[in-house]
Structure 1
Amino acid sequence: MEELDLSNAGFTTRAIHAGQEPDPAYGALATPIYQTSTFCFDSMEDGIAKFEGTIPGYVYSRGGNPTVRALELKMAAIEGGEDCVATGSGMGAVGSVMIGLLQAGDHVIVGDCVYGCSNVVIRDVLPKFGIEVTPVNTGDLDAVAAAIKPNTKMIYFETPTNPMMRLTDIAGVAQVVGERDIKVVVDNTFAPPPVQYPLACGADIVLHSVTKYLNGHGDVIAGVIVGSADDIAQIKNIGVTKTCGCFCSPFDAFLIIRGLQTLELRVRRHCESALAVARFLESSPAIERVLYPGLESFPDHAIAKKQMNGLYTGILSFELKDGLGGRSRFEAGKQVVNAMKLAHVAVSLGDPASLVQHPASMTHHNVSNEVKASMGITDGIIRYSVGLEDTDDIIADLKQALATL
């Protein structure tokens, strides 16, 4: 059977077929789980050649595994990159990018609103190793340009941001960087393909917490990094396999490969339902504001229309009005969250079930109050991951929860 040419294939065709061929040993359709720590060689000469890389093959699963490699090839095709390395967690991806590409004396520009654990690594840990960090509102391209120094080596940001949903014009940042030797790194967890393609917009590296939409079933912790072959090789060899030692397990890779085959169907449903939920919440007299890129009222809606391909993610945040029933926003928010019956109180996202959480005390609890205030994260913000349940049922659950105020 001739090898399938995916160069002009559509998104779902690539998501299903890239990186996967029938198993050469027995013809298995599903990629086998190569649950092994090490690999045997035919001879000393064979082992030496594989260690040197003069012939292809695997030597030790921390450095490469056939099941994991199928996932990496699939993700490279999905994101439009030359290569990919899979990690044991989303934070494994973040840390490996930093360790793999930066050194003492370098300067990093970081978006002023990022995931709490990413914030700790970049703002608190990197300076301990002599790496300078400047937080910037990357949605302000003039501010990005003003923050660049001769030793700037990376601009790192999320778009949309967690949990404020603010957007950065990826192509605009790439244009500001121009020909400088600065890596533009985008955390694309909140808006995975087919919603947003950072590499196509000019980014150098895109990473994900695969735990979320890419796997999509709430049963895996993993991450991926996609970019040029040279960048991925450096990140993999220095960060993933050695310093961090956070390579993805074969079994987790198998589950993610399975999840990716329905990625477009799932993400489209998440996004369509989220837009309907956002419009419902925006119409509620109890809601002060709804943070969702798909709403015309959202400050960055023009950027969303430009780079989000008509889909606007399945995540939204909202804030209740102050003084409802004599309660503060925080107390009213607890009342509403606890009254929800369909959504689970949990800190992940992208699962089949709707999930709700309180960022200030959960995902960003380890961020200082000062930094949370600079991010715009108040005690009244509630983040909601819209699941795959019937949209009418999700809205009905929110309606009854709000009615308890």
Structure 2
Amino acid sequence: MTHKSSPYSAATALAQALGAHDHESQGVVPAIHIATTYIRGADNSYPTGNVYSRADNPSYKPVEALLCELEQGHEALLFSSGMAAATAVFQGLQPGDHVLAPQVMYWALRNWLLNYATRWGLVIDLIDMTDVSAVERHIRPGETKLVWLETPGNPLWTISDIAAIAQVAKAAGAWVAVDSTCATPLLTQPLKLGADIVMHSATKYLNGHSDVIAGALVSADDSEFWQRIRAVRSQGGAVPSPHDASTLLRGMRTMHLRVREACTNAQFIAEQLSQHPAVLAVLYPGLASDPGHSVAKQQMHGGFGGMLSIRMRAGEQAAIHVAAHTKLWKRATSLGGVESLIEHRASVEGPSSPCPADLLRLSAGIEDKDELLADLLQAFPS
């Protein structure tokens, strides 16, 4: 699939799903294709291009086309989960390849890199990706094949300068991949800043309703590296069900509305709590005092995301108390849904986590912002 740019805004492209519909019935919603295999032509070819649903399915096409439009990429691929999408990138590398990744990143991928990717011969260095000079010091020209970024970085919401790091990586002959799950394509477009690949856990903001597990990759071009990643999906079969792809497309059609509201709520709560005496620190790139604010202003447009973390001045037990006593904020893992979520993140990530014990991770949903703030405040220890 080669991307052809739409003349419309992201909001219109999302609401219309780029005009996707069921061509046979003319239904305004695309059909769900549940077939696992496809009939060959008389010459033994596949006239529709569909071969087997382990590798591809017509139900993926509208979602992939929409993602390509939003990210301004060459091709998009859906996966069965965000982890499946992310790990496919690393599986596209060769044994002995050197990789730079952030110290602060999604804990499941961090653990996978340290415990599994190394078994396959990859050499992994976790560094401070907020510091471009650290990338310059650790990159190995000719040996470093991939620089993996996550910005904002979960759960401290650190900001990496995509354009500056991409310049360093390209000079050393390395590809750049960006986990942009929390920024979404509406706030940041990493490919336009020099990245080669952008990854999304589509479970989160893309779908937005906490009812689908999926992931996605979008490539800037049809490089040899991308071809290897495409083969990983085709041969490994880490693909979503047709029903999940259809549900994902439905969720994406309101993403611009959901993300806008989540950003508004997160900004409001961050500003209010940053002045509260019970709060040691608010971690949110939308605050002028945040260390990553200036870079975030350059590469994020339309908001600073719906994710923030707070550190309780009284420590770990105070944080656990707050999570236990909220009513609107649900105690649950994940993020990016219409409902607001809260969790004591260090308990989830375990002893190897870089997450402070006094930290609460918050995913702002689309509820009334004043009611969300009041619910947090009433949960604070007296």
Task: Give the one of 214, 219, 236 matched to 2:230.
Answer: 236
> Distance between the aligned counterparts of 1:117 and 1:241, measured in 2?
23
Task: Give the one of 359, 379, 383 matched to 2:345.
Answer: 359
- Count of aligned pairs between the two proteins: 376
C-alpha distance after superposition, 1:122-143 (max 9, x if no partner)? 1221111111111111111111
The reply on whether 1:156 has 2:148 as its aligned counterpart is yes
The reply on whether 1:110 has 2:101 as its aligned counterpart is yes
TM-score if structure 1 supplies the norm length? 0.90
Q: Which residue of 1 aligns with 2:356?
A: 378
Within 5 Å, give how 1:215-226 maps onto structure 2. Answer: 215-226=207-218
Do 1:36 and 1:61's aligned partners in 2 also have CA atoms closer than 8 Å?
A: yes
How far off its partner does 1:20 sit? 4.3
How far off its partner does 1:179 sit? 4.0
3-state secondary structure, aligned to 1:398: helix
How far off its partner does 1:121 sit? 1.7
Within 5 Å, give how 1:27-42 maps onto structure 2. Answer: 27-42=26-41
2:11 alignment partner AA: T
1:393 alignment partner AA: E
Task: Give the one of 383, 393, 396 matched to 2:371.
Answer: 393
Q: Which residue of 2 aligns with 1:16?
A: 15
How far off its partner does 1:6 sit? 4.7
Q: Which residue of 1 aligns with 2:45?
A: 49
C-alpha distance after superposition, 1:146-181 (max 9, x if no partner)? 111131100002101110000000001011123443
1:254 alignment partner AA: S
The reply on whether 1:78 has 2:67 as its aligned counterpart is no
The reply on whether 1:124 has 2:115 as its aligned counterpart is yes
TM-score if structure 2 supplies the norm length? 0.95
> Distance between the aligned counterparts of 1:254 and 1:319, measured in 2?
39
Per the alignment, do residues 167 and 193 of structure 1 end up closer, same or farther by CA in structure 2, a change over 3 Å counting?
A: same
The reply on whether 1:165 has 2:166 as its aligned counterpart is no
The reply on whether 1:207 has 2:199 as its aligned counterpart is yes
> Distance between the aligned counterparts of 1:151 and 1:18, measured in 2?
41
Query: Can you give the 5+ residue segments of structure 1 that lack an aligned partner in the other structure?
Result: 323-328
> Distance between the aligned counterparts of 1:305 and 1:168, measured in 2?
12
Do 1:20 and 1:31's aligned partners in 2 also have CA atoms closer than 8 Å?
A: no
Do 1:337 and 1:356's aligned partners in 2 also have CA atoms closer than 8 Å?
A: yes
How far off its partner does 1:294 sit? 0.3
Query: Can you give the 5+ residue segments of structure 2 that lack an aligned partner in the other structure?
Result: none
> Distance between the aligned counterparts of 1:140 and 1:6, measured in 2?
34
Task: Give the one of 349, 369, 372 matched to 2:335.
Answer: 349
> Distance between the aligned counterparts of 1:7 and 1:217, measured in 2?
26
Q: Which residue of 1 aligns with 2:255?
A: 263
Do 2:270 and 2:284's aligned partners in 1 also have CA atoms closer than 8 Å?
A: yes
> Distance between the aligned counterparts of 2:268 and 2:303, measured in 1?
12
3-state secondary structure, aligned to 1:317: strand
Do 1:68 and 1:249's aligned partners in 2 also have CA atoms closer than 8 Å?
A: no
> Distance between the aligned counterparts of 1:232 and 1:259, measured in 2?
27
> Distance between the aligned counterparts of 2:135 and 2:268, measured in 1?
34
How far off its partner does 1:19 sit? 5.3
How far off its partner does 1:352 sit? 0.8
The reply on whether 1:294 has 2:294 as its aligned counterpart is no
The reply on whether 1:66 has 2:58 as its aligned counterpart is yes
> Distance between the aligned counterparts of 1:248 and 1:169, measured in 2?
32
How far off its partner does 1:16 sit? 3.3
Per the alignment, do residues 56 and 181 of structure 1 end up closer, same or farther by CA in structure 2, a change over 3 Å counting?
A: farther
Q: Which residue of 1 aligns with 2:321?
A: 335
Do 2:147 and 2:169's aligned partners in 1 also have CA atoms closer than 8 Å?
A: no
The reply on whether 1:134 has 2:128 as its aligned counterpart is no
The reply on whether 1:318 has 2:316 as its aligned counterpart is no
> Distance between the aligned counterparts of 1:381 and 1:22, measured in 2?
45
> Distance between the aligned counterparts of 1:330 and 1:118, measured in 2?
25
CA RMSD of aligned residues (A): 1.5
C-alpha distance after superposition, 1:99-126 (max 9, x if no partner)? 12x0111100011111111001212211
Per the alignment, do residues 232 and 248 of structure 1 end up closer, same or farther by CA in structure 2, a change over 3 Å counting?
A: farther
How far off its partner does 1:225 sit? 0.3
Moved over 4 A (4+): none
